[in-house]
């Protein structure tokens, strides 16, 4: 800051003017001491004061009223996003940065207002995205959202270059067909073109909304949820054997082999556990949709793990943030957590095949059709 003053006045401290027409202004002592928090601790600084200038002198290195460096300011929201509650900041950061650290819960609370503005900007146009697959799932927040829990509806898409991006984060009162329909209509109004396959939990009401909004997209139900539902209906004397048998179904090499295993399971348990057999057969077509797509992508299409895996970080944050009373605040916070998680999203296997899927090139048993058929489809 001393160097800044020297550069502005054109002379060092206690040095007289070299000429009558030299730069105006003169030093006038220092301001009141103030605490400045750095990543290595807190220090006391005093701003040098300058008088006699035509315009006010403001240090670019350390503006007035700045109480911490940019590095510390960037650290606060990161810790907040990763689960540190507002009431724990003083204890945690003063242990790291010293007792003189300048911390204010008001500045942290202002983050939610800033994130609400960023969330509104994030809901941009999606015309430039070529989405191949979409994973949809719902999460009931436990952050004290107003007087009741709210359903957070999340949609994640896979691009033709293999990247995964978050497309929608919306709060609704419940996971109804109307709520999912509103989410899908919003995506369409933002310019998102139809994708090729939707992967979701069988309990969601998204299927009714998809029939209206995306009638041409394939639909895949989550195998993990289905197997859990089937095992819940099994008698306690047969869980290990049934679990081992059921786990082989989604990993069969062909749809014919998968259905053969289903028939064997049904014959074995149709008397012992008829309800379990009924659950396995229910909506079977949606369970084997993934066989229509490249074999390299099957592991990502069988389940909704793509959408559920980031929820672990969300639950950590909402558990620490039980003081939230507004749906908007909790929604933007969870959106921000998912934005951080998006940076570590794993790319899809075999990204070179994704453009073919986007171009509706047919695949049979995980393998693409003959080149003549592909050329006809692409030309069409």
Closest to 123 measured CA to CA, from 213, 171, 190, 193: 190
CATH code at position 164: 3.30.420
pLDDT of the residue at 92: 62
Verify that 95 and 54 share a domain, yes or no. yes
362 and 243 inside one domain: yes
CA–CA separation, 208 vs 176, rounded Å?
Answer: 9
Distance CA 182, CA 35 (A): 50
> Which of helix, strand or coil describes residue 118?
helix
With 0-12 CB in 10 A as exposed, 13-18 as middle and 19+ as buried, what is 200? buried
Taking the chain (380 residues) in runs of 10, the rounded mean pLDDT of each run is 86 73 76 82 85 81 77 66 60 62 63 80 89 90 54 91 92 83 93 94 83 91 93 84 90 95 94 93 95 94 88 65 61 80 85 93 84 50
Judge contact between 102 and 37, C-beta under 8 A: yes
Same domain, 366 and 228: yes
Q: Is residue 317, in this structure, part of any structural domain at all?
A: no
User: For position 259, what pLDDT does the model report?
Assistant: 96
Instruction: State which of 81, 103, 125 marks the end of a domain.
Output: 103
Would you say residue 312 lies in a domain? no
**Given this model, what pLDDT does residue 113 score?**
77
Whether 146 maps to a domain, the answer reads: yes
Q: Which of 164, 203, 171 is nearest to 314 (CA)?
A: 171
Q: How far apart are CA 61 and CA 191, in angstroms?
A: 43
Q: 21 and 91, same structural domain?
A: yes
Query: How many CA atoms, within 13 angstroms, populate the side-chain half-sphere of residue 96?
Result: 15
For residue 145, the model assigns a pLDDT of 46
Residue 315 placed within a domain: no
Closest C-alpha among 91, 147, 119 to residue 334: 119
Q: What distances in angstroms separate CA 10 from CA 5, 53, 63, 325, one per listed residue?
A: 8, 13, 21, 55
Q: Give the pLDDT confidence score for residue 378 in this predicted structure.
A: 47
Give me the pLDDT at residue 323, please: 47
Residue 4 is assigned to a structural domain of this protein: yes
Residue by residue, DSSP assigns 243-257 as HHHHHHSTT-SSHHH
Q: 149 and 258 share a domain? A: no
| Whole-number pLDDT of residue 319 | 58
Number of domains present in the structure of the chain: 3
Decide: residue 55, CB within 10 A, 0-12 exposed, 13-18 middle, 19+ buried: exposed
Torsion angle, CA of 338/342/346/347, rounded to 10 degrees?
Answer: 130
309 within a domain of the structure (yes/no): no
Q: What is the pLDDT of residue 159?
A: 95
Say whether both 24 and 99 belong to one domain. Answer: yes
Is residue 311 one of the residues assigned to a domain?
no
- Our CA dihedral for 201, 207, 209, 212, rounded to 10 degrees, sits at 150
Same domain, 290 and 361: yes
Residue 191 has what pLDDT? 93
Residue 314 covered by a domain: no
The whole domain housing 200 covers: 114-220+324-349
Task: Say whether both 370 and 262 belong to one domain.
Answer: yes
Strands 367-368 and 363-364: antiparallel
**Same-domain status, 333 and 190:** yes
In this structure, are residues 49 and 81 in contact, taking their beta carbons and an 8 Å threshold?
A: no
Residue 236 and residue 208 in one domain: no
Same domain, 93 and 133: no
Residues 296, 276 share a domain: yes
């Amino acid at each position: 800051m001393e160097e800044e003053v020297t550069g502005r006045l054109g002379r060092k401290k206690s040095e007289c003017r070299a000429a009558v027409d030299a730069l105006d202004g003169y030093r006038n002592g220092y301001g009141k001491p103030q605490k400045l928090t750095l990543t290595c601790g807190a220090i006391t600084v005093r701003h040098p004061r300058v008088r006699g200038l035509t315009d006010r002198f403001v240090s670019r290195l350390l503006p007035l009223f700045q109480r911490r460096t940019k590095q510390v300011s960037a650290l606060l929201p990161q810790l907040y996003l990763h689960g540190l509650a507002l009431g724990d900041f003083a204890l945690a950061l003063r242990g790291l940065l010293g007792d003189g650290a300048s911390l204010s819960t008001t500045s942290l609370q202002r983050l939610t207002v800033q994130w609400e503005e960023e969330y509104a900007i994030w809901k941009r146009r999606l015309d430039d995205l070529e989405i191949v697959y979409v994973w949809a799932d719902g999460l009931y927040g436990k952050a004290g959202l107003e007087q009741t829990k709210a359903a957070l509806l999340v949609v994640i898409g896979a691009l033709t270059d293999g990247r995964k991006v978050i497309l929608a984060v919306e709060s609704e009162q419940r996971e109804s067909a109307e709520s999912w329909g509103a989410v899908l209509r919003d995506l369409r109004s933002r310019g998102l073109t139809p994708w090729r396959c939707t992967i979701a939990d069988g309990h969601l009401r998204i299927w009714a909304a998809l029939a209206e909004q995306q009638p041409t997209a394939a639909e895949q139900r989550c195998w993990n949820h289905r197997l859990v539902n089937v095992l819940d209906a099994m008698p306690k004397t047969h869980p290990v054997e049934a679990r081992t048998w059921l786990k082989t179904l989604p990993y069969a090499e062909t749809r014919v082999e998968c259905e053969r295993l289903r028939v064997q399971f049904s014959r074995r348990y149709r008397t012992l556990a008829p309800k379990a057999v009924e659950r396995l057969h229910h909506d079977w077509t949606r369970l084997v949709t993934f066989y229509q797509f490249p074999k390299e992508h099957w592991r990502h299409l069988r389940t909704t793990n793509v959408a559920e895996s980031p929820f672990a970080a969300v639950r950590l944050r909402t558990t620490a943030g039980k003081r939230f009373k507004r749906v908007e605040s909790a929604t933007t916070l969870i959106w921000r957590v998912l934005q951080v998680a998006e940076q570590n999203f794993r790319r899809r296997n075999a990204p070179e095949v994704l453009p073919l899927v986007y171009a509706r090139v047919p695949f049979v048993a995980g393998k693409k059709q003959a080149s003549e058929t592909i050329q006809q489809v692409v030309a069409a």
